[in-house]
Structure 1
Amino acid sequence: MKQKVVIKVRLNGQKSRSKALKIVVGFSGVESAGIGGQDKSQIEVVGDGIDVAKLTILLKKKMGYADIVSVAAVGGEKKEEKKEEPKVQQEIVWPMYGSGTPHTYIHYPSNHYQDPPCSIM
């Protein structure tokens, strides 16, 4: 399940912002991360199967302060699977000439017969 997590972190300058983003992007399950909020002190993380508690603890150890602001499921649109219609196999017709009069031989697909036509095979 995809989720969006917002974590408030103490970001003083560009160096601390890049350090926090490197920590977040290196965490398992994270697909994208960015800085947001009014004062640019929040990290917005989007991913699948993110352990939010472990991520927050890791940020707290490395950055000094981290607090979970919100966790929300991302409402992705469901993709409709297109079902393929079964293909209709057409009969193959070969004209046969031999005795002067044309004969028609019709070949049905192999799954047409339930029992094999020859008992030896």
Structure 2
Amino acid sequence: MAQKIVIKVHMSSDKCRRKAMALVAATGGVVSVELAGDDKSKVVVVGDVDSVKLTSALRKKVGPAELVEVGDAKKKEEKKEEKKEEKKAEPAPVYPGYYYYYYPYTVV
């Protein structure tokens, strides 16, 4: 089952952000990774991974990390599916197989 994990990591530069993103993306079972927060200090991970191991790996490689939130990721997916179902499918326009061409009348 996919989980949504939010980890706050102290990242002072773009190099630290790239390093954290690469580390998380290389972890097995990760579906998506994104940076969140005002100063882009939170890493949001969606997938089937161990949150404690991921947090400790970020502590070792990047810097101080704190596990903020762990929850189900299906909430947003269910909302998207409901919105898709609400839209009614319009029938596709029907075009004739070919158009008739009338030759112009010429006087000889």
TM-score of the two chains, using structure 1 as the length reference: 0.60
**SS class of match (2:61):** helix
Confirm or deny that 1:35 pairs with 2:35. yes
Runs (5+) with no aligned partner, structure 1? 80-121
Q: Kindly report the root-mean-square deviation, in angstroms, between the aligned alpha carbons of the 2 structures.
A: 1.3
Alignment match, 1:89: none
Would you identify which runs of 4 or more consecutive aligned residues in structure 1 move more than 2 Å?
none
- Higher relative CO (CA 8 A, sep ≥ 6), structure 1 or 2? 2
Who is 1:62 aligned against?
Answer: 61
Separation (CA, whole Å) in 2 of partners of 1:27 and 1:12: 22
Percent identity, aligned pairs only, is 44
Q: For the pair shown, which has the larger CA radius of gyration, 1 or 2?
A: 1
Q: Which digits, 9 at most, give the CA deviation of each residue in 1:7-60, with x for residues without a partner? A: 00011111110000000001111111011012210001111x210000001000
Rounded Cα–Cα distance in structure 1 between residues aligned with 2:42 and 2:16:
12
Q: Which runs of 5+ in 2 are unaligned?
A: 82-108
Q: State the distance in 2 between where 1:13 and 1:69 align.
A: 21
Larger deviation, residues 17-26 vs 67-76: 67-76
Task: Find the counterpart in structure 2 of residue 22 from structure 1.
Answer: 22
Letter in 2 for 1:4: K
Partner of 1:4: helix, strand, or coil?
Answer: strand
More strand by percentage? 1
